[in-house]
Chains A and B, each alone.
Chain A
């Protein structure tokens, strides 16, 4: 009797092990078949965003492969990727990753393109969980609002006007949503301040070495934007929040 039980256990275990091995094998096989394409997709996504925020700049390198990591409180995080656009080796623009920590529901991730003179070339939201229909007008697919940053700098408007209209600044808020644009405006302003402080170092970042293995820096993982399972109630227009 005892032997029979042991035999059963052994057979069952082996059977289970076999299924696990087969399952893993199938997944590994599919993975190897899709790996290249997935990497390509991520690269294309990064290239699309980086190209968008560096719009109008005259550069001759491939910024997607020319990246470094920087971190600062003004950018809202540490170890964030930055992409560089160069013309004949000179850095003519940077695409900074920035995180606005004070969105209505969590972080808003941004890509901020700044040229060597400190003028904004473009801003894009790469991930957020703002209220659909109210706060998501920061997405370029949903409204033109994000384009208002183009051509702006720390002197246009002057720094004290880098606010939404409700706070006495020059940037529009949305009907029924002030917190979201306020967070984005503040994050973009902070990214500009960071650039001003560190311009010299940023513009002197070395290009990738000729024989270096080509690495791709994926853009910060996107938060699915059309769903927000933990989304709280719709944003109230008059939500109280102190502005520094």
Chain B
């Protein structure tokens, strides 16, 4: 694999190879937990932590892990990291822990994580692997929060509802009411709403990509060509 620059790693994770929109990995938590911004952000942060830890450890150990047992070892690393994160969340973010429920242990099964361990971390240096984990995690969280915001606004007319679960008591003030809840569009909160929001986001991304591609590259030729004689 060609060593990619740090800029490339960031760009890949956030946009060109986004786990949520391009690789379409980890859809189960993405669709199930994106009902509100706070839930999405909570699961996103836990996923970022898992990705960074697992990528770093996998990269650290890449010389010592024999290829035959690499997958079980990755699974062990990821499972241990997730269990530790789950315990920490249970202790310090109990309200959020109760809301996210089964989806925290299920981070283990988020294919984006083992996917990055195998595809990137096992072949790259520790700082690169950690950065890749961070970029992929932030990319994933971004999609999660975008879908969460879309569904929360359409479904219950608010933003950052229940923010105190994540930020403590002062978070109660963060709630923004856009319109009264009775006028919410229920479908957005139900599972089909997640698929619709997801589809919209992918469409928007493809649209932007198509625009970017169609546009002539301005930076490559800063000097105008000399006029024809």
Contacts and interface: CB of A to CB of B under 8 A. Distances in A.
A227 interface: yes
A27 B80 contact: yes
Nearest to B38: A226
Given A34-B91, A133-B156, A226-B36, A19 B84 contact: no
Contact of A224 (B83, B92, B98): B98
Nearest to A234: B186
Interface stretch (A37-45, A65-73, A91-99): A37-45
A222 interface: yes
Contacts, number: 90
A58 interface: no
A38 B90 contact: yes
B191 A16 contact: no
B27 interface: no
Nearest to B182: A175
Interface string B67-81: 011001100110110
B39 interface: yes
A164 B64 CA distance: 67
Interface residues of A, number: 33
Interface in A186-229: 222-227, 229
Main secondary structure of the interface of B (DSSP, over half): helix
B206 interface: no
B88 interface: yes
B190 A231 contact: yes
Given A19-B73, A133-B186, A38 B66 contact: no
B83 A27 contact: yes
Nearest to A39: B91
B199 to A, nearest CB: 19
Interface in A66-120: none
Nearest to B187: A234
A12 B92 contact: no
Contact of A38 (B80, B87, B100): B87
Given A26-B80, A227-B101, A45 B94 contact: yes
B189 A133 contact: yes
A27 B87 CA distance: 9
Contacts of B51: none
B155 A133 contact: yes
B189 A31 contact: no
A157 interface: no
B13 interface: no
B200 interface: no
A212 to B, nearest CB: 27
Given A23-B76, A34-B90, A133 B181 contact: yes
B138 to A, nearest CB: 23
A236 interface: no
B184 interface: yes
A45 B96 CA distance: 13
B122 to A, nearest CB: 14
B35 interface: yes
Contacts of A42: 94
A140 interface: no
B72 A16 contact: yes
Nearest to B156: A133
Nearest to B81: A26
Contacts of A24: 80
A151 interface: no
A158 interface: no
Interface of B: 32-33, 35-36, 39, 64-66, 68-69, 72-73, 76-77, 79-80, 83-84, 87-88, 90-92, 94, 98-103, 155-156, 162, 181, 184, 186, 189-191
24 contacts: A11-B66, A15-B66, A22-B80, A23-B77, A26-B84, A30-B87, A31-B87, A38-B91, A38-B94, A41-B94, A44-B94, A131-B186, A133-B186, A134-B186, A222-B98, A224-B98, A224-B99, A224-B101, A224-B102, A226-B35, A226-B162, A227-B35, A227-B101, A231-B190
Interface of A: 11-12, 15-16, 19-20, 22-24, 26-27, 30-31, 34, 37-38, 41-42, 44-45, 131-134, 222-227, 229, 231, 234
